[in-house]
Chains A and B, each alone.
Chain A
């Protein structure tokens, strides 16, 4: 299976490389024959590699399919810029992508890395479209070429708070963050929105990779609250859910898009039942297109799509389409950036468009519920709370 993938990837890569060498040093992509390069910046080694891999595979699948489809008169190449999810490696990773003369970058995946490398992309005039850096202030810092194709933390945290305050009778909520960039950001917003809605909030922190979640779960039970919001990734939400169950927590349990993944259900088993998960994405198994994506993904990479796989796939497709619009292989970073800012694109997960600061315009949050080892779609938070 994997071998086939490698061959499928290797052939266009080899063709692309030949094409590039055939043309010699063609300057900044515009003289470069019929190939364009799209980069991905994210953690491809180190501790957070799985998240990076989810996204990388999404991007690679998009590129593969674009090349195989024959719809475009240029060949797309993939370039991986590994920043290990660490801000200090991010400038290096950005430079590697810039040196490779990529036309656009999917990423940076993490907010910290985005903060540290967005200036480099801005200076080089390369659009950086992140499908997962959700920290709210990234688009307020004036990074010229940074676009965010995902609703930021404010939207999601507010969505959670709205749901809890309007659709449930919860009065006291425990907000737990996982001490990551993502978790703290989301938890901060959720805490603030809950307080604004007049609910009592207790804040806990349970760092990633805790060796034993039972003590933390016992603490949550001890807080005597009606609801829990866990802001973190599924890798830790899984065991935490199990321990919460064991400790006898009976309130409402809720988590964000970092946990909205089948792996969460696999890790937590029956303890995942009744968990509410928010996400800015529509259900990837609901529609035809997304179902096909999941199948293709599994066929190509021998694992199911993970968090942000489908979003990265969308962003890569969006970029490829806009490259074609702006002149294919003759397109440049500047032209592409201009096109992307004005784009309206319907992907498999959501519709993409950006506001003046480069932030995502569509800030609708959807709600899911885990039941019998499946993640069921409930509807948008606005609709659920409107009744």
Chain B
């Protein structure tokens, strides 16, 4: 009896004993060293397929490794041995900032006029600043940022408000772009009548609406992750059809699309080839209209119904919300926004082929929405603009081939330290908090992952 007890005690002691390397401090050091090695590889030489070990050898025998190691160890030492000082400095600066910041926030919340004032200033800046930019940045602003902002705002309806995970959103963008190409007579198949690009917009909206409903109707009973793979599959099918049915779509060889033009008889205007600014004002108008409409929508009956569905679908259905209808509506509205973006895109770039609509873009747009803060329009605007701008800006700072590596790294770090996004929606962050503490059932997007207890 006592023998077994003593054995148990010994076993227990052995199990409880910690080796030196298991202590948190040394584990943190190991982590920092690993980080330093990774950073050396990330910033180091480009490899070569001739000698697979070339880059590894070059990086791990160079000076950079030691610099990174020294940095990492310094950070580690600072954190380990100067904890009180660092903590006091941080809390001190936070206290210093919290006074004025709190007051600003108070004024912001209390006074409508301030909010509208800031909004007006932002709008004025958005109108005026770009004309002073370099041509290149103007083109980036229009061809990429403005277009993807529009797409991201559309996706926000589906994922941020209705809480449905859509991994194939660019499919609608493609449908919009090909509608534009078809109705302006650019595709190998001729339309019944050739229309002006502006006249295509309502048609594209309707087409995408129908496509959204067609995709949505059979898939709505699927939950989060299943919906994700089905939408992904839908995108792949649309993309491959555009690619393979070259007799109808032009396939990878692409088609040339006319640019925007207005001809009212007494007054005509043509959006030219090179100058991006006219397109910028046009797209700005699109974005402004869409954002205004969505902003009204968010606080309407529909918006509230989405919130209800998102937070608890069963409860929403039992209180008389027609969940199927509202979910379909979210799908259709998001899709049609994307369709408008597609028309604008085809009419700006003037050339489309199937390779403009690869699956990676759908994934990226999703990242824009989450990064900015899903459910919040300012967040999504910022997220899309920033993440589209970043690779362009990185071009001059790092080897362009590595840009997406940095983007990926940023996404990981950002999600670890600010999972709710840069400018989260207030309601969404509350839901996150509640779902985490288990007070409400989260939907597919807010529910915490399993195995979180540790």
Contacts and interface: CB of A to CB of B under 8 A. Distances in A.
A96 B349 contact: no
| Contact-residue bracket for chain B | 35 or more
A95 B349 contact: no
B401 A44 contact: yes
A86 interface: yes
A304 B256 CA distance: 37
Contacts of A184: 246, 251-253
Given A88-B143, A88-B352, A99-B136, A119 B274 contact: yes
Contacts of B403: 45
Interface string B101-143: 0000000000000000000000000000000001110111001
**Most A CB within 10 A of own CB, among B58, B256, B395, B400:** B400
Interface string A72-94: 00000000101001111111100
B46 A2 contact: yes
Contact of B395 (A82, A85, A205): A82
A181 B139 contact: no
A2 B351 contact: no
B49 interface: yes
A205 B244 contact: yes
Interface string B159-189: 0000000000000000000000000000000
B134 to A, nearest CB: 5
A185 B51 CA distance: 35
A385 interface: no
Contacts of A115: 254, 256, 351
Given A45-B400, A82-B400, A91-B143, A112 B135 contact: no
Given A98-B135, A180-B252, A80 B351 contact: no
A309 to B, nearest CB: 14
A138 B345 CA distance: 22
A89 B356 CA distance: 9
Contact of A135 (B253, B351, B400): B253
Interface in B348-377: 349-353, 355-356
A239 to B, nearest CB: 15
A58 B394 CA distance: 24
A245 to B, nearest CB: 23
B89 interface: no
Given A45-B404, A91-B143, A184-B252, A303 B273 contact: no
B50 A303 contact: yes
Contacts of B353: 87, 112, 181
A179 interface: yes
A354 interface: no
B253 A112 contact: yes
Contact of A120 (B254, B273, B355, B356): B273
Nearest to B143: A92
A49 B404 CA distance: 13
Given A181-B254, A184-B253, A95 B49 contact: no
A116 B350 contact: yes
Nearest to A49: B401
B67 interface: no
A282 B342 CA distance: 44
A179 B251 contact: yes
Contacts of A112: 252-254, 351, 353, 355
A294 B355 CA distance: 33
Contacts of A92: 136, 139-140, 143-144, 392
Contacts of A99: 134-136
Q: From B349, B352, B355, name the one whose CB has the most chain A CB atoms within 10 angstroms.
A: B355
A123 to B, nearest CB: 5
B87 to A, nearest CB: 42
A302 interface: yes
Contacts of A378: none
Contacts of B350: 116, 119
A302 B54 contact: yes
Interface string A167-204: 00000000000011100110000000000000000000
B352 A44 contact: no
A247 interface: no
A5 to B, nearest CB: 11
Nearest to A98: B135
Interface in B323-359: 345, 349-353, 355-356
A171 B45 CA distance: 52
Contacts of A85: 355
Contacts of A119: 273-274, 350
Nearest to A188: B253
B4 interface: no
Contacts of A180: 252
Interface centre among B46, B138, B251, B252 (most CB of A within 10 A): B252
Nearest to B177: A88
Contacts of A80: 400
Nearest to A137: B253
A124 interface: yes
Contacts of A91: 139, 143, 349
Nearest to B139: A95
B56 to A, nearest CB: 13
A245 B54 CA distance: 33
B48 interface: yes
A2 B49 CA distance: 14
Contacts of B45: 2-3
Given A45-B403, A205-B244, A302-B54, A87 B349 contact: yes
Interface string A143-180: 00000000000000000000000000000000000011
Contacts of B49: 303
10 contacts: A87-B352, A87-B353, A92-B392, A95-B135, A98-B135, A112-B254, A179-B243, A180-B252, A302-B48, A303-B49
Given A44-B401, A95-B138, A95-B276, 7 more contacts: A45-B400, A82-B395, A90-B351, A99-B134, A116-B351, A184-B246, A304-B50
